[in-house]
Amino acid sequence: MGSTLRAAWHIAVKDLAIEWRTKTAFASGLVFAVLVLAVLFFSRDPTTVSATDIAPGAMWVTFTFASMLGLNRAFLIERELRALDGILLTPAPRAAIYWGKFVANLAFVGAIEAISLPLFVLFYDVPIWRRLGELILVIAMATIAFVAVGTLLSAMVVRTRYAELMLPLLLLPFLVPPLVAGVQATAPLLDGRPLSDVSGWLKLIAGFDVAFVTLAALLFEVVLDE
């Protein structure tokens, strides 16, 4: 177990070091997030639809799609010169590859969310300060769901020619529970209601997280074999 954690850590650090050098995926994800937020804002009829009405949906759509841009890069770097084979030739446990990528993806998506959130407040003028901590909790829990399933699926689609298309196609159905729960939990929180009001949705996301993080980690080794 300790060796898995250590190896996973090294893999996560290496992934983030590479992303830090190039920053391409991060910059694209960020620009994409801003664009989605802006387009959704301007494409509504301001007289009938208030910004606060569409705010939760806009925020979550932005996070979801910006995350998907970043998920494929995790395994693309392993395929360029077949570095993944290099990892498989070391004694590092195979599960460590999943956990390392999972952590790196969480950090990546988390960074995009952290920067998009203030921009979101800027555009939509929503009072997130009332329940900022609770909001961050909901965002974190749903992000874990996206990344757990997304990491597994991106490992699969990366070897196909249509990875950018196949990932959203396969991933989005799995995002329905956490996404709907996220949106439904966000609106009351933005209204200033307490966390207990959205406990049903929170339990849903928590259950989903436990189930799918476990499932994805177990199934990952199947995806690595040739």
Which spans of this chain sit near another protein (rule: CB under 8 A)? 3, 7, 10-11, 14, 17-18, 21-22, 77, 80-83, 85-92, 149, 152, 156-157, 159-162, 166, 169-170, 172-174, 176-177, 180-181, 184, 200-201, 204, 207-208, 211-212, 215-216, 219, 222-223, 225-226
Shortest distance (Å) from residue 121 CB to another protein: 26
Query: Shortest gap between Cβ of 148 and another protein (angstroms)?
Result: 11
Q: How far is the CB of 48 from another protein (least distance, A)?
A: 20
Q: Identify whether the C-beta of residue 4 lies closer than 8 Å to the C-beta of residue 99.
A: yes
Q: Using the minimum distance from each CB to another protein, give the nearer residue, 21 or 47.
A: 21
Contact status, residue 132 vs residue 203, Cβ threshold 8 Å: no
Least distance CB 117 / another protein (angstroms): 24
Is residue 149 within 8 Å of residue 174, measured between CB atoms? yes
Q: For residue 63, what are its two tokens?
A: 């996070």
| CA quadruple 131, 134, 136, 139: dihedral, nearest 10 | -120
Distance, in Å, from the CA atom of 54 to the CA atom of 1, rounded to the nearest integer, reads: 45
Q: Alpha-carbon distance 138 to 61, whole Å?
A: 15
Pick the closer one to another protein by CB: 106 or 204. Answer: 204
Nearer to another protein, 25 or 37 (CB): 25
The angle subtended at Cα 151 by Cα 148 and Cα 152, nearest 5°, is 90
> Residue 76 CB, nearest distance to another protein (Å)?
11
Neighbours of 62 (CB within 10 A): 25
Which is nearer to another protein, 51 or 206 (by Cβ)?
A: 206
Which of residues 19 and 113 has its CB atom nearest to another protein in the complex? 19
Nearer to another protein, 117 or 177 (CB): 177
Task: Provide the minimum distance between the beta carbon of 123 and another protein in the complex, in angstroms, as a whole number.
Answer: 26
Return phi, psi of residue 82, to 5°. 55, 40
The amino acid at 69: L
**How far apart are the two ends of the chain, measured CA to CA in Å?**
25
